[in-house]
Amino acid sequence: MKITKVEAIPFAIPYVKPLRFASGEVRVAEHVLVRVHTEDGVVGIAEAPPRPFTYGETQASIIAVVSQILAPQIIGLSLLERETVMARLARTVGNPTAKAAIDMAIWDALGRTLRVRVTDLLGGYTDRMRVSHMLGFDEPAAMVAEAARIRDIYGITTFKVKVGRRPVTLDTAVVRALREGLGEAVELYVDGNRGWTAAESLRAMKEMADLGLIFAEELCPADDVLGRRWLVSHLDVPFIADESAVTAADVTREILGGSATAISIKCARNGFTNAQRVHHLAEGLGLAAVIGNQIDGQLGTACAVAFGAAYRLTTQFAGELSNFLDMDDDLLAEPLDIHDGELLVPAGNGLGVEIDPDKLTHYRTDH
Ligand code: MUC
Ligand code: MG
């Protein structure tokens, strides 16, 4: 089970519908496919999505750190030595999605080697998740039409609405239009990606008090320490820490500091090994946890559903597993299929998904 090679392959797939939010926008999925090879001829796969506005990584930086620093430190280790892999990767600070993709590709290779699904190695709680769809910035009517389309085609009835624009009424009007247009049968929550101040956030939440929101996420920066604590203490819905709580230590700081009351778990930035740490911490603290979306492609989404379905806690709420629907195409040989508002964990060994070699040749950008 020794690791013999780690590849980092850049690819680019355009979005049909770019996603816009307070901290940035994504028009093309310029991700990195990571492949971990073993001496047994097994290849594990995962994808790293560069999000410079969230973690400071770029496609080029991910390739450089994987090939120049991280890969040489883990070649020769066994797939079973995942704690050793973690310790070696931790010698390099930052670079969360680069490290996460290596970790998840190792789990995939382990599942393929043992002929079991990763989701069963992790926890095996269930075989599916309810899906929540993220709606990027647009005019109210367009966002209602998009949500209705996603509901009608895929049966999705939970929507995370991007907010954080100024004036706050730009966004509160959207959320009101969604509630009026889609009715009480849908679940709605909002994510500000740090776009508002604490005072703007509270004003917006008061304006939306009658709209039955289930969560508010990262409305203002966690670095506005007292402001954020003040905001959270005035809310009557759980406040999700997303980009402010990447590691288990961050989660501890944000929660014990009163700056959040729930968390987003994103495999794209934690891999499975650190996502387990965050999950177990959340469970121990009694927090709600939502499987978040790093604007993942289908491979990243296969990772997210494998993790989310593995535990009771992460299946309590819909997981953000559908934004690959906004992409023009994908690398997977067999596309993921959302219906009746659910995504099933793919059935095969490891992550249960394969890369289509022709698609990879077409979309890779290193030749
Ligand atoms: C999200 O939940 O914030 C947008 C920026 C990012 O880092 O992730 C996405 C979705
Ligand atoms: Mg978020």
Nearest C-alpha neighbor of 35 from the set 112, 108, 121, 94 = 108
Q: Which of 103, 108, 171, 191 is catalytic?
A: 191
Q: Which amino acid is at 62?
A: I
Residue 349 lies in a domain: no
Return the pLDDT at 367: 80
What gap in Å lies between CA 235 and CA 166, rounded to an integer? 20
Question: How many angstroms does the Cα of residue 242 sit away from the middle of ligand 2?
Answer: 5
Q: In this structure, is residue 351 part of a structural domain?
A: no
**Do 196 and 99 share a structural domain?**
no
In the chain, at which residue ranges do the beta strands (DSSP E only) sit? 3-21, 24-38, 43-48, 128-135, 158-162, 187-191, 216-217, 239-241, 262-265, 288-291, 319-320, 338-339, 342-344
List the domain range (segments joined by +) for residue 328: 120-344
Taking the C-alpha atoms of residue 244 and residue 260, their distance in angstroms, rounded to an integer, is 9
Q: What DSSP string runs through 117-151?
A: BHHHHHT---SEEEEEEEE-S--HHHHHHHHHHHH
Pair 9, 151 in one domain: no
- Taking CA atoms, 29 is separated from 114, 140, 149, 165, 342, in Å, by 32, 25, 23, 24, 24
CA of 204 to the centre of ligand 2 (A): 17
Residue showing tokens 């989310």: 308
Atom of ligand 1 nearest to the CA of 292: 2
My answer on whether 111 and 128 are in the same domain is no
Cβ–ligand 1 distance for 195 under 6 Å, the answer no
Q: How far is CA 176 from CA 115, 141, 188, 353, in A?
A: 48, 11, 10, 39
Shortest-distance Cα residue to atom 7 of ligand 1: 54
Taking Cα atoms as reference points, which of 39, 56, 97, 126 lies closest to residue 305? 126
pLDDT in tens, the chain (367 residues): 999 999 999 999 999 999 999 999 999 999 999 999 999 999 999 999 999 999 999 999 999 999 999 999 999 999 999 999 999 999 999 999 999 999 999 999 999 999 999 999 999 999 999 999 999 999 999 999 999 999 999 999 999 999 999 999 999 999 999 999 999 999 999 999 999 999 999 999 999 999 999 999 999 999 999 999 999 999 999 999 999 999 999 999 999 999 999 999 999 999 999 999 999 999 999 999 999 999 999 999 999 999 999 999 999 999 999 999 999 999 999 999 999 999 999 999 999 999 999 999 999 999 8
CA pair distance 202, 204, nearest whole angstrom: 5
Residue 196 and residue 64 share a domain: no
How many domains does one find in the chain? 2
CATH of the domain at 90: 3.30.390.10
**Judgement on whether residues 111 and 157 belong to the same structural domain of the protein:** no
Does the CB atom of residue 97 touch ligand 1 within 6 A? no
Is the same domain home to 175 and 281?
yes
Residues 199, 86: one domain?
no
Nearest ligand to residue 295 Cα: 1
| 350 domain residue, yes or no | no
Note whether 229 and 255 are same-domain residues: yes
Q: Are residues 254 and 149 in the same domain?
A: yes
Q: How far apart are CA 176 and CA 315, in angstroms?
A: 27
Q: What pLDDT shows up at residue 14?
A: 98
Looking at residue 173, which CATH number applies to its domain? Answer: 3.20.20.120
Q: Does one domain contain both 27 and 140?
A: no
- Against a cut of 0.80, is the pTM above it? yes
- Find, among 35, 16, 1, 4, the residue nearest to 357 by Cα: 35
Partner residues linked to 133 by β-bridges: 159
Name the token pair of 64: 């450089």
Q: Are 130 and 291 within 8 A, CB to CB?
A: no
Q: Are 136 and 242 found together in one domain?
A: yes
Both tokens of 265, joined, read 């778990």
Alpha-carbon distance 64 to 140, whole Å?
41
> Is there a single domain that holds both residue 184 and residue 40?
no
The ipTM (two decimal places) reads 0.99
